[in-house]
Amino acid sequence: MAEAFVYDAVRTPRGKGKKDGSLVEASPTDLSVHVLKSVRDRNSLDTTLVDDVVFGVVEPIGDQGGNVARTAAIAAGYDETVGGMQVNRFCSSGLEACNIASARVMSGQSDFVIGGGVECMSRLEIGDSGMPLAADPILSLPNYFVPQGIAADLVANKYGYSRDDLDSYAVESQKRAKTAWDEGRFEKSVVPVTDENGVMMLDHDELLRPETDMQSLAALQPSFVMLGEFGGMASVAQQRYPEIEKLDYRHHAGNSSGIVDGAAAVLIGSKEGGEKAGLKPRARIKAFATIGSEPTIMLTGPGEATFRVLERSGMSADDIDLWELNEAFASVVLRYMDQLDIPHDRINVNGGAIAMGHPLGATGAMILGTLIDELERQDLETGLATLCIGSGMGIATIVERVH
């Protein structure tokens, strides 16, 4: 089997996904074009060597519809022979896109495929592309559908993470993200977004609140009380998990991932492809796995995906030097650390989506880049990137540095 290597990884800074966000004027195509151009230009890449662009996007309608990957490849001026495909595995779409790109290379069918993703959450909200599992009564009732926020609180209740536990984690995420920015740890991958006149729109992750402390978080109201109590979602969760006597609401805007706009691209290719392009590989994609897990609690998939990928590659948790788990909600990370016995100083060492935001379709590709950057910075060998996924799934990808 051929090997798949990461040659480069770039991402936009993450702009606030609200009306006043700095990237609101940029369309999903604009952001996608931006990362595709960056990958091409900083590697002097002859795009005729690239077979395909695979982009994750979770709400693929409107300006994110109609196959954003092909649209962006055309708009970025890639050679017309470069195809494009959008994929949707909800929150892991960006990493899934990279795994698909890797698989194409590993199977010997392509020399270069670009994986990545985009999400402009200021334009398209979660659910805008339709969600029959939530809305169609034939599906929602028998399958105990609850939204992610309720599932996150369910994880906290079931596995015993208090509001303080979650908030402490969030404070640390902010602290780490601040340090990472201050020390320029994201410099390798972040490509600032300018307009066509070269005027800067955004050169940093906009959502960061480094001043966050336990007190400021304590003032926040839990986010999912209405859904749970008046919308009946707590009862649905309890019907599926009868051991929960009463659902306590512990997640809020400060210990959940932020809503942002952003895009990312990862250049993945074979050894021969790299040679042809005159590029040096940074990391090898060693193994990856996706799994399905219980859909009501929904967010426990990373643990199971990790067990699966470790088992398949004959590795154990001890072989992993650094971990990146998307901070969708604080409880997800706490549960994962407990499940795999991971010390806090080995996981999400530069903060995560609680501090910097979670542009759904792009995040998976972003954390893969962050992980490789950090392996290089700390001169470590092996890392694992993983995300929890809507409707109960998990994904995990193991990368190794190439010297």
Partner 1 sequence: MSGLIKSDIDSDGVATIVWDMQDYPMNVLSEESLRAFEAEWRAHQNNDDVKGVVITSAREAFIVGADINMLWRMRAWPAAEVFAQNQVLNRFFREIETAPKPTVAAINGDALGGGFELALACRYRVISDRDGIKLGLPEVMLGLLPGAGGTQRLGRILGPKEALPYLTTGKNMRAQKALGFGVVHDIAPADGLVAAAKKAILEGKVPAKAPWDEKGFRFPGGAPHSRDWTQTFAGGGSMLRRETQGNYPSPQRIMACVYHGLQLPMDKALSYEGRQFTALFMGPTSRNLIRTGWFGRNAANKLEKRPKGVPETTFTKVGVIGAGVMGAGIASCTAAGGCDVVLLDISEEAAAKGKQHVIDYFARQAAKGRMTKEKAEAIAARVKPSTDYKDLEGAQMTIEAVFEDRGIKAKVTAATEAVTASDHVFGTNTSTLPITGLAEAAERPEEFIGVHFFSPVEKMPLVEIIRGEKTSDHAAAVAMDYVKMIKKTPIVVNDARGFYTSRVFGTYTREGFMMLSEGVSPAVIENVGKATGMPMGPLELIDMVGIDTGHKITHETIKEVGRDVMAARGEPFEALDVLDWIVEEVERPGQKAGKGFYDYDGDNKKTRIWPGVYERFPTKNSDVDVDELKKRFLHIQALETLRCMEEGVVTAADDADVGSIFGWGFAPCHGGVISYVENIGLPQFLKECEALAETYGKRFEPPQLLRDMAARGQRFYPDEEIPAHAAE
- CB burial of residue 246 (10 Å; 0-12, 13-18, 19+): exposed
Site for partner 1 in 54-83 (CB under 8 A): none
- What is the smallest separation between the CB atom of 7 and partner 1, expressed in angstroms? 40
Residue among 138 and 199 whose Cβ is closer to partner 1: 138
Residue carrying the six token digits 């309720």: 150
- What is the smallest separation between the CB atom of 145 and partner 1, expressed in angstroms? 7
Residue among 127 and 184 whose Cβ is closer to partner 1: 127
Q: Which residues pair with 86 in a beta bridge?
A: 55
Our measurement of the distance from residue 292's CA atom to the centroid of its chain's CA atoms, rounded to an integer in Å, reads: 17
The rounded distance, in Å, linking the Cα atoms of 388 and 386 is: 7
Residue among 248 and 381 whose Cβ is closer to partner 1: 248
- Cβ–Cβ < 8 Å for 303, 333: no
By CB under 8 A, is residue 239 in contact with partner 1? yes
* Eight-state DSSP code of residue 207: T
DSSP string, 234-296: HHHHHHH-TT-SSPPP---TTSBPPPEEEEEEEEEE-HHHHHHHT----EEEEEEEEEE--TT
The rounded distance, in Å, linking the Cα atoms of 260 and 21 is: 8
- Please identify which residue in 20, 137, 219, 379 interacts with partner 1, judged by CB under 8 A: 137
- Please identify which residue in 84, 115, 116, 147 interacts with partner 1, judged by CB under 8 A: 147
Number of residues that bind partner 1 (CB under 8 A): 29
Residue among 228 and 352 whose Cβ is closer to partner 1: 228
Please tell me the number of Cα atoms within 13 Å of 174 on its side-chain side.
20
Catalytic residue among 91, 98, 120, 252: 91
By CB under 8 A, is residue 245 in contact with partner 1? yes
- Cβ–Cβ < 8 Å for 394, 386: yes
Residue among 117 and 147 whose Cβ is closer to partner 1: 147
Looking only at the bridges linking them, the beta strands covering 260-269 and 4-11 are antiparallel
Active-site annotation holds for 98: no
- What is the smallest separation between the CB atom of 246 and partner 1, expressed in angstroms? 6
- Please identify which residue in 7, 145, 161, 323 interacts with partner 1, judged by CB under 8 A: 145
- Please identify which residue in 25, 80, 136, 187 interacts with partner 1, judged by CB under 8 A: 136
Residue among 232 and 292 whose Cβ is closer to partner 1: 232
- What is the smallest separation between the CB atom of 231 and partner 1, expressed in angstroms? 5
Catalytic residue among 34, 251, 252, 358: 358
Binding mask 216-235 for partner 1 (x = CB under 8 A): ---------------xxx-x
328 token code pair: 């969708």
- Cβ–Cβ < 8 Å for 23, 12: yes
* Eight-state DSSP code of residue 228: I
Residue carrying the six token digits 């991958």: 189
In 139-245, which ranges are E strands?
Answer: 193-194, 200-202
- Please identify which residue in 19, 20, 142, 197 interacts with partner 1, judged by CB under 8 A: 142
- What is the smallest separation between the CB atom of 187 and partner 1, expressed in angstroms? 39
By CB under 8 A, is residue 338 in contact with partner 1? no
Active-site annotation holds for 204: no
| Catalytic positions, written as ranges | 91, 358, 388
Give the residues lining the site for partner 1 (CB under 8 A).
125, 127-128, 130-131, 134-138, 140-142, 144-147, 231-233, 235-236, 238-239, 242-246
